[in-house]
Chain A
């Protein structure tokens, strides 16, 4: 871990804030504490908004939960809806949903992955590839992309629109639909809907391949920059299918360390709490998850496209698999640790999502009429899914009446909290330290955060669990006379 998390004597340092972070989902800021010689002494990513879904769904009926919690986000609501739906399936005893229901859900999720990855790369991140760091801020945005690279901008809009159409047809609405019900889905596809979605699909696949060419060209032009910028060694966590394939909808948990060694594999995600813990720090609303066996200092990990492509043994669609092989060569036998490679991995997944949509649309099961199964009610359910931004955990416990008693969400971006902080500290040390800070330099911090495609509004859930320390300090000497501490679990310790 970097030493830049907390400065020893912050009172003598100059504070510089990047507030708000631009071109990310939600509101966040980065603060830097810099000394007189422009050396960075502290760098932190803060999440400044607060949601509290875990709290206010308490007391609500469980079957409402997927529809309520999807409001966490306007970009990846399908992921929250599906993770919660998978948990609710367990509550209603649906151990396996019907082939039709599963394929409709997978279709919905692929549409979600396609549109979310498109909006991030084309609308938010593409200026980082297409323009220089010191490009004027008024131009370094999607407007500038539309002016200078209209074809790329148009492809981004159309790719997103296509993904949203897949969602609309499977979930009922482009954003915040209600297609998933306890134990299945409420509709299959009609032939007319299938044919409509097939119409533009070849074009989407072609555009997915084109954008990968663009990324590879950008890498080839400046390999040193890609290799070193914000790069950190980390552990990786994701779901994988039973045969080791990339699977965005379902699978077991796999974690690798920085060398690529397996830490745990095919772990039933309902046992996530045995391997993962969350640390709370007083300066952030966002928790810091870590692999329990390694502890908070060494156990933090990365999730999302980079983790998934590093973790899986293969991608079950041919074009994306060919791209994965080329990508994996960068790691020379180890995981690819390049933070900017998140974009590359993300576009491999976009291509995979488009290919998977094609396979699903040609599968006759999507027209089936067996939509829902139910079994014996249980009181606890855990749903995990690979959301566009990474592994997403939804855990609910309900009472005898079917009302939610407890909820725990580990949101994709939360998993990357420590990693994002490590990346900005690497950038601060390598590119900013000792220099007078200018807007283009500070933009490099944002580029590092943006690579993770964080959804900051999704990721803040520390309600009622923020640690609090009260110290009684002797006025003259400054000595601590007494202290009272409320831990992350709400337990108050100390005091006399």
Chain B
């Protein structure tokens, strides 16, 4: 009888099946909840906190909270929008996200979510961390400046590719993405652009080498419609300006 089960999201009944999270049920019903570290192909992670919703008055991550019949969930409220905006602003100042010069600009999930929650300026003081680019791989560039620690590449490489190339090292503000080799260089791994790990980055941290800005402004993924309509970078084909599969 699971098809009859539903919860309420912003006053609208959302059907769900056993084991589904609020996020999965909402997306299946066509309701967008902003997110970065969530990807339906992977187990939920709950790390970016952008998908925070209010469940029966309590703030919880929609990607990790199982859906239940007695839930009244708030998603599009001014309060939640402000919390999400604050999280995005912190993500932007913690790394070096220079949208004006970034190849992913216009097709970047981080940028698109930031626009979606109404973030137009970083607000906080920039950390300006020094993070050298790793261009040692012949096909790909790893730009740590743009990493938001969503661990999607970590999960994809470990769980799908079976290569376990990426990891997050350190704790708290010291946490950072590393490459699992003695040299720490991507060039020393068997990473390939065909790997799942190369397809899932929601920012421009993993990019195809020697290519850039090939899609004209105005035709990029999020140039004309917001992410709530277009969907995530990782789930869209290159022809639509999403993740490349070459």
Contact = CB atoms under 8 A, between A and B. Distances in A.
A177 B215 CA distance: 12
The bracket for how many chain B residues form the interface is 10 to 19
Given A172-B216, A403-B133, A182 B210 contact: yes
Nearest to A179: B216
Contacts of B216: 172, 178-179, 186-187
A63 B212 contact: yes
A64 B207 CA distance: 12
Interface string A34-77: 00000000000000000000000001110110011001000000
B209 A402 contact: yes
Contacts of B187: 401
Say what secondary structure dominates the interface of chain B. Answer: loop
A68 B133 contact: no
A176 interface: yes
A92 B211 CA distance: 11
B214 interface: yes
B103 interface: yes
Given A60-B133, A61-B141, A176-B100, A186 B215 contact: yes
A146 to B, nearest CB: 31
Contacts of A430: none
Given A61-B209, A172-B216, A179-B217, 16 more contacts: A59-B132, A59-B133, A64-B101, A67-B101, A172-B217, A178-B213, A181-B212, A181-B213, A182-B212, A186-B214, A187-B216, A377-B210, A401-B187, A402-B135, A402-B210, A403-B135
A92 B212 CA distance: 13
B181 interface: no
Given A64-B103, A71-B100, A173 B212 contact: no
A77 to B, nearest CB: 11
Contacts of A181: 212-214
B211 A63 contact: yes
A4 B217 CA distance: 50
A377 B135 CA distance: 15
Given A59-B133, A173-B217, A176-B100, A64 B212 contact: yes
Interface of B: 100-101, 103, 132-133, 135-136, 141, 187, 209-218
A377 B210 CA distance: 10
Interface of A: 59-61, 63-64, 67-68, 71, 92, 171-173, 176-182, 186-187, 377, 401-403
Given A172-B218, A176-B100, A67 B133 contact: no
Contacts of A176: 100
B210 A177 contact: no
A186 B136 contact: no
Nearest to B134: A401
Contacts of B213: 63, 67, 178, 180-181, 186
Contact of A71 (B101, B133, B136): B101
A172 B210 CA distance: 21
A128 B210 CA distance: 48
A61 B133 contact: yes
B172 to A, nearest CB: 27
Contacts of A59: 132-133
B20 to A, nearest CB: 41
A401 B136 contact: yes
Contacts of B218: 172
A370 to B, nearest CB: 14
A92 B217 contact: no
Nearest to B219: A187
Contacts of A377: 210
A401 B133 CA distance: 10
Query: Residue among A177, A178, A403 with the most chain B CB within 10 A?
Result: A178
B237 to A, nearest CB: 18
B210 A178 contact: no
6 contacts: A64-B103, A67-B100, A92-B210, A178-B213, A179-B217, A181-B214
Contacts of A403: 133, 135
B217 A178 contact: yes
Nearest to B187: A401
A444 B213 CA distance: 45
Nearest to B137: A401
